[in-house]
Amino acid sequence: MPRETMTIAQKVESIRILSPDGTVDKKLEPKLPDEDLLGLYKTMLSSRLFDERCFMLQRQGRIGTYGPTKGQEAASLGFAYCINNNDWFVPAFRETAAMLYRGWPMSTIMLWWGGHEIGATPPKGLNDLPICVPVSSQCQLAMGISWAQKLKKTKDVTLVFVGDGGTSEGDFHEAMNFAGVYKLPLVQVIQNNQWAISIPRHAQTASPTIAQKAIAYGFDAFQVDGNDILACIVAGQEAVKKAREGGGPTIIEAITYRLGVHTTADDPKKYRKDEEVKEWEPKDPLIRFKAYLEKKKLLTDAVETKLREEIRLKLDEATAVAEGYRASKTEFFEYVYAEMTPELRKQKAELEEYLAHGAKPSHANELSRV
């Protein structure tokens, strides 16, 4: 056999439509209704202001550790725009903009970060999973859902998110390998924000792109400017259409940047330089999209002011709802299985008896296993 270079059928395409100053490539610009464009901007702005509110609440001790999404709004929202309510949406924990667009109440997301189980309850009518912190475990869940979609021949797709650091986990690779072998209707978005907590992108993988990992699994990929919501939408629409028509999975690497902390338990000054952050600030997806809408005469200072006031009122209401919530002391029993097992019902009854009467439960050893 002669020595020769192999030709691989799979490909990786790169997409950018909006430059940082809001200038658009007319040949690639998607034709979106004006009301959709304004709605997308309002959602991005809502996510940014939600971030600011939750950061403040955490610093005041009113919610637990919080993971901001500042700088990454387009890298989730653009793809969520491409699916419908019958499709499945599987987030990691930095997809606030997409969750708001899908219809998650702000108060529910606040309750999740506040440690309440009810915060993991998706709104009715949506095929959504809740926020997932165990790194890359959601990729396996999404793969399983998309496998079920294919077996049932539903024509629906599954959209799942993971960070660049998550691609170093076995769960990600196992899910992608399975998705490729069985040509599942899965769209895997990688939010490459350049940092896996304190580990930089170059220490995660030696490959020039993360997108090209799709080639090893036998399917195509995109690498998009993740701060360009139009590029995210174009790539997302193509990937969703392919999946819906039986063409199999796609990886989309969205190049973005984490402008804030990893979480409120993190101090990024210990591992990255301020100069790096300042270099990325002008590429902010919100600034870029705003400039685009202003050039289209869809956004003015007056409209911006009105939107901010509407969002502020919603945030005030959501904060009041979240802080007014009082969880049952036995609530944790109710979120383990769809239907509580006999053993759990027995343990719950014992705890309720103890709480009501202050008496020692009759089966203390069993209760200790809760």
331: Cβ–Cβ under 8 A, 6 or more apart, which residues?
A: 116, 117, 118
Eight-class DSSP state of 361: P
262 is catalytic: yes
> Do 260 and 237 touch, CB atoms closer than 8 A?
no
Q: Are 45 and 286 in contact (CB under 8 A)?
A: yes
Q: b or e along 75-89 (b: 16 or more beta carbons within 10 Å of the residue's beta carbon)?
A: bbbbbbbbbeeebbb
Candidates 16, 48, 258, 288; catalytic one: 258
Distance from the Cα of residue 190 to its chain's centroid: 10
Question: What are the residues whose beta carbons fall under 8 Å from the beta carbon of 192, sequence distance 6 or more?
Answer: 163, 164, 201, 210, 226, 253, 254, 255, 256
Catalytic residue chosen out of the listed positions 94, 102, 262, 288: 262
Instruction: Tell me the residue type at 337.
Output: Y
DSSP code at position 281 = G
Does the annotation mark 271 as catalytic? yes
Cα 253 to chain centroid distance, Å, stands at: 13
Given 59, 271, 312, 335, the catalytic residue: 271
Asked if 116 is an active-site residue, the reply is no
| Active site members | 258, 262, 271
